[in-house]
Amino acid sequence: ASLSFANSKNKSIEILIQELENETQAIQEHYSITNQKLYEKLENITRELRITRIIEQQVALLIQKDQIQEQLIKNKVFEETDISKIRYLKGLQIIKILYEKTLSLEHHFASVSTFNEINNLSNPNQYPEFAKMKDVINSKQDKKSGFNLSSILGDNIYTSVVHSLVSLFTDTSTSKAEKEESLLDVECILDFTLRMHNDLNTIYFETAFLQKSNENIIKELEQLFLDFTKPIKYKTPLKQCRNADDWDAVRENLNGFLLELNKIIDDDSQRFKAHKMQINLEFPIDRLLQFITQYNMHINQGAKFYEKFGIMLNSYENEKQCATKIPPEYIKLKANIETSIESFNTAYKPVEIN
């Protein structure tokens, strides 16, 4: 068996799993047919042993019987080794695909929202209408009785809103109609930012948490690749291998390992070495299966978080009344969250492996 990444760069996990199933079935059928012929020979020998009374024939038949039984044992080893080779080949290709998925997730988390974007959405001080109202209030403010907030409190949404509203209603130089008009201009902004401030901040911080979790998954996958390629003596890290498109070197190392295994697997004097090499193929496959469980938990967690984000963003009850005042970034964020939920359940989740 040989590994060809050139033809599998764009393969999906579904195709790889189907190939694994087909190739494994072909191996099993091959050894089933081969072993069936040996079992038929064993039956014939057993039958002849019952009827023959000639010592020389009995000895010859017993030797043949031992040879066939020994061959059956070897065939079992050969079959397990051939299947291990196929699983190892597909495991490498699956690691490659999962790495691309985690890198895509890393980009996704980074692009969903930055703190500045969230802050702009949830802070009324970032809206021109509110800033304009504050400027008007400050310009008309009574210097004797009025006061200005410090830069820190002025940027705080709660103290800034309270100060502006108190200043607006206590301003004696502005008529009631003017006050109501000023308030009408910013009521949707204040309603949206005060209602959604905590939810939007929660989305930011929990997305940052998911991003950190994804970074840990990437590190785990990179370590898995090192463990996976250790038996074939390929020592280049996964990130460097991917960036340099060094998969041909992985293939060469693997083919060299398989060539050596094929040479000694039928040699009784090197049975221990062959067995150890086979175990070295099986161990990283088990590690991959453990990682897939961990990866699934990560994806399921992300999907649940984003479902919660969707509920939060859809909870703003005055969206219709304030449709013209709500920033378009809020609508885009809602659409992004909906798309992300679908991606977690399809693009990022290795359904076929499960």
Per-residue three-class SS string for the chain: CCCCCCCCCCCCHHHHHHHHHHHHHHHHHHHHHHHHHHHHHHHHHHHHHHHCCCHHHHHHHHHHHHHHHHHHHHHHHHHHHHHHHHHHHHHHHHHHHHHHHHHHHHHHHHHHCCHHHHHHHHCHHHCHHHHHHHHHHHHHCCCCCCCCCCHHHHHCHHHHHHHHHHHHHHCCCCCHHHHHHHHHHHHHHHHHHHHHHHHHHHHHHHHHHHHHHHHHHHHHHHHHHHHHHCCCCCCCCHHHHHHCCCHHHHHHHHHHHHHHHHHHCCCHHHHHHHHHHHHHHHHHHHHHHHHHHHHHHHHHHHHHHHHHHHHHHCCCCCCCCCCCCCCHHHHHHHHHHHHHHHHHHCCCCCCCCC
Segment 50-56 mean pLDDT: 91
Q: Which residue has the higher pLDDT, 262 or 312?
A: 312
d(CA 89, CA 79): 16
pTM of the predicted protein model: 0.75
Give the pLDDT of residue 1.
Answer: 43
Contacts 24+ apart (CB under 8 A), 138-144: 140/171, 140/173, 140/174, 141/167, 141/171, 142/171, 142/172, 142/173
Least confident of 16-25, 113-122, 262-271, 292-301: 113-122
Residue 181: pLDDT above 70? no
Q: Which residue has the higher pLDDT, 219 or 126?
A: 219
Note the pLDDT tens digit of each residue in 94-115: 899 899 889 988 877 776 656 6
Which positions ≥6 away from 316 have C-beta within 8 Å? 192, 195, 196, 326
Q: Which residue has the higher pLDDT, 348 or 145?
A: 348
What is the phi/psi pair of residue 230, to 5°? -60, -45
Give the pLDDT of residue 130.
Answer: 78
Residue 200: pLDDT above 60? yes
Contact 192, 162 (CB under 8 A): no
Give the pLDDT of residue 131.
Answer: 77
Quick one: what percent of the chain has pLDDT higher than 70? 80
Give the pLDDT of residue 153.
Answer: 52
Question: In the numeric block, which tokens belong to residue 26?
Answer: 């072909």
Model confidence at 187, pLDDT cuts 50, 70, 90, reads: confident
d(CA 204, CA 109): 10
Which residue's entry shows tokens 């911080």?
205
What is the phi/psi pair of residue 211, to 5°? -65, -40
Note the pLDDT tens digit of each residue in 3-46: 444 444 456 777 888 888 899 999 999 999 999 999 999 999 99
What is the phi/psi pair of residue 189, to 5°? -65, -45
Q: 320 to each of 7, 53, 122, 293, 310, how far by Cα in Å?
A: 52, 100, 18, 43, 17
CA-CA-CA-CA dihedral for 112, 115, 118, 121, to nearest 10: -130
* Other CB atoms within 10 A of residue 319 CB: 16
Contact 101, 71 (CB under 8 A): no
